[in-house]
Amino acid sequence: MINFQFHVNTFAKPKFKLMHSYMCALTKNKTFEFNCYRLTSRLFEFSGILNERFKDHGGYIFTFGLFGFIIELSVTDNRHWDHLTNDWENDDGK
């Protein structure tokens, strides 16, 4: 897993507002998600999470924000990781 984050905050009280959200299935187990939101206390943000396996909903999440407007792009797995079998859980949850 690789996780990096850099952000600069203002002293304003944080207010969150979702502006747009879009999600679609890429494959049976992969989902693409686009989110655009406003976070008043955030002046600048750049972050990413690269997490392919060994964790629930493994995938990639990238975030970029400027002057409180933030865009988030992600491609994640719909399944949960089973630590006993060291593999993805089946559709029936086993």
Give pLDDT, residue 45: 93
The neighbour count for residue 16, using CB atoms within 10 Å, is: 11
Estimate to the nearest angstrom the gap between the alpha carbon of 14 and the chain centroid.
Answer: 20
- pLDDT band per the 50, 70, 90 thresholds, residue 65: very high
Where is mean pLDDT largest: 41-45, 76-80, 87-91? Answer: 41-45
Q: What are the sequence ranges of the domains in the chain?
A: 2-82
Q: For 7-62, write each residue's pLDDT tens digit.
A: 999 988 889 999 999 999 999 888 999 999 999 899 999 999 887 766 677 788 99
Indicate the pTM of the whole model. Answer: 0.79
Contact yes or no for 58/83 (Cβ under 8 A): no
Give pLDDT, residue 23: 94
